[in-house]
A and B are shown apart, each in its own frame.
Chain A
Amino acid sequence: MQLDNATLHAAIERRFPGAILDHGEPYGMLTLETTREHLPEMLRFVKEDPEIQANFLTSLCGMHYPEQKGKELGLVYHLHSFVHNLRFRIKAFFPIDDPHAPSMTALWPTANWMERQEYDFFGIIFDGHPDLRRILNVDDLDVFPMRKEYKLEDGTRTDKDDRFFGRDGHEGRSFD
């Protein structure tokens, strides 16, 4: 069977009814949003299901949307089924006050450093990770620098604010 976005979406929906909160195909890549509670079983399913065989974890990255109340932090898994040459991504969001997510190190050893990196950047705590500590930044750093509240350089600089260039809706997205 040739797997495409629609059949893959249907297969996951069939296996986990109601667990897909949102779906879309931006630029042709199937994107599904689920909850962190469903994440481990869903990823195990797409990896081990003989029809899907998405056994390659391409990448894993954290997200921070400060405006999304209750779903500020998120994780994006890019998966690749070599057999069907199909890529897709699965997302899950959770509150920043409770930055816990399940670790996928048992499923993919490669998730080990990827999760350490996202812990380092966003402070996402991966439950079940064998060795969760900072990887790129120094151990005694007391912030999670990829969160949006941390400015890159001088946070007081306003000369290149978007509002001065005839655009709105992006206040605070300045050059810094």
Chain B
Amino acid sequence: MQVQSYFSSLDNLDGELATLNLGPTHPATHGIFQNVLKMDGEKIHSAEPTIGYIHRAFEKLAEHRPYNQVTPITDRLNYCSSPINNMGWHMTVEKLIGCELPKRAQYMRVIVMELARIADHLVCNAVIGVDTGALTGFTYMFQERERIYEMFEEVCGSRLTTNIGRIGGMERDFTPVFHAKLKDFLKTFPARFEEFNDLLERNRIFMDRCIGAGPIAGARALEYGFTGPNLRAAGVDYDVRVMTPYSSYEDFDFIIPVGTQGDTYDRFMVRQEEIRQSLRIIHQAYDNLPAGDYHADVPEFYLPDKPDVYTKMEALIYHFKVVMGETPVPVGEVYHAVEGGNGELGFYLVSDGGRQPFRLHFRRPCFIYYQAYPEMIKGSMLSDAILTMSSMNVIAGELDA
């Protein structure tokens, strides 16, 4: 409200309005998007975002790829937490074909997804620190993110764009090295994370920069379609993992942290607490990891073991059918949502029985909430706008699809 009155009359302007191009490539935006700002001195009078600089036509591409080849496209949505996107897509297809996963596969997915969430939140919060002038925590937390990526590498062979898991389960069981790395991570990460937390949480400079920067009210955030940590920072406790549990999230005990002001500090604090809650979930899932198979028995969709392909006729046939997309899929439409690093990541899949989706629509949380950005930074200082953007965790890949 204060912001509104500041510009209610042009008499408040100090001088002429200056036009400032923030982006498309600017080190402070952590991605490629442009904001044309009208500046009154150092205050932002209005902002006009332009997006689409890395638009890669994912929805069109998905209509021309068999189901298993759509997974690498989802990697490149929010590339800070690719495994969640991958799993969300697998679960969408599994819902369509009516495939129920063994408990072990579901728990393995939960562990991988929560590791991805930790990595995603670590980057975001570390970068908030950088934008307030605190580089040290960033270097600490990137070492931790590196350890998470090493674990992904053990599971699927890649680090950033993971293509992790398969339709029908996981591609392989956790390796002994993964078990060792995860145990070590669970043991040593909390202390290092709390050290990072202590560097910032009650730091006077950090608090002065973050508190009150880029606030949004809960009701307004809902109107703008906010989800994820940004919505929870505004005080609305909506979390897909709790509202519509998938992959056995109902088995785990965790809380949904919420903020009150919806400002940068609350977003930071919500993400910090979510990292702790993710650790709790990983502990519960890992300690109770059920015995059993790591994939469902769906040979029409899940690739057979390679040695079998070379020696068994049936396996060879299934291999061919999976690779060539020769398995009939049901006709129908399905919506599935997962709690991504930035909120509700939804997949609306329409199948006409063909080998590729007839239509695949991604509900991309970044794209939806970024449109509130001009409203959130209006009347604030340029430096606060930068901070607001990094605390919203706008990921260009997810924004532009």
A residues neighboring B (CB under 8 Å): 26-27, 29, 31, 55-59, 61, 63-64, 76, 78, 82, 85, 87, 89, 108-110, 112-114, 117, 121, 134-138, 145-146, 150, 152-153, 162, 165-167, 169-170, 173, 175-176
Question: Of B52, B65, B372, which is in contact with the most chain A CB atoms at under 10 Å from its CB?
Answer: B52
Task: Tell whether, in the assembled complex, residue A59 and residue B363 are in contact, meaning their CB atoms are under 8 Å apart.
Answer: yes
Task: Tell whether, in the assembled complex, residue A173 and residue B225 are in contact, meaning their CB atoms are under 8 Å apart.
Answer: no
- What distance in Å separates the Cβ of B362 from its nearest Cβ neighbour in chain A? 9
- What distance in Å separates the Cβ of B195 from its nearest Cβ neighbour in chain A? 37
Contacts of A31 in B (CB 8 A): 333
Task: Tell whether, in the assembled complex, residue A162 and residue B355 are in contact, meaning their CB atoms are under 8 Å apart.
Answer: yes
Task: Tell whether, in the assembled complex, residue B368 and residue A113 are in contact, meaning their CB atoms are under 8 Å apart.
Answer: yes
- Give bound CA distance, A56 to B223, whole Å: 7
Contacts of A82 in B (CB 8 A): 238, 243
- Give bound CA distance, A26 to B96, whole Å: 10
Total chain B interface residues with beta-carbon distance under 8 A: 47
Contacts of B400 in A (CB 8 A): 136
Task: Tell whether, in the assembled complex, residue A110 and residue B224 are in contact, meaning their CB atoms are under 8 Å apart.
Answer: yes
Q: Convert B40-71 into 0s and 1s, putting 1 for each residue whose CB lies closer than 8 angstroms to a CB of A.
A: 00000000000110010101110111100000
Task: Tell whether, in the assembled complex, residue B223 and residue A110 are in contact, meaning their CB atoms are under 8 Å apart.
Answer: yes
- Give bound CA distance, A64 to B361, whole Å: 12
- Give bound CA distance, A64 to B59, whole Å: 13
- What distance in Å separates the Cβ of A117 from its nearest Cβ neighbour in chain B? 8
Give which listed residue, A78, A113, A165, contacts B348 with CB less than 8 A: A78
- Give bound CA distance, A175 to B243, whole Å: 37
- Give bound CA distance, A131 to B333, whole Å: 31
Judged by a CB distance under 8 angstroms, whether B371 is at the interface is: yes
- Give bound CA distance, A145 to B60, whole Å: 8
Give which listed residue, A55, A61, A152, contacts B61 with CB less than 8 A: A152
- Give bound CA distance, A96 to B77, whole Å: 30
- Give bound CA distance, A108 to B334, whole Å: 24
A57-B225 in contact given A87-B335, A89-B335, A113-B368 (Cβ < 8 Å): yes
Give which listed residue, A58, A137, A173, contacts B355 with CB less than 8 A: A173
Give which listed residue, B95, B222, B348, contacts A55 with CB less than 8 A: B222
- Give bound CA distance, A152 to B344, whole Å: 28
Task: Tell whether, in the assembled complex, residue B51 and residue A136 are in contact, meaning their CB atoms are under 8 Å apart.
Answer: yes
Give which listed residue, A58, A136, A170, contacts B346 with CB less than 8 A: A58
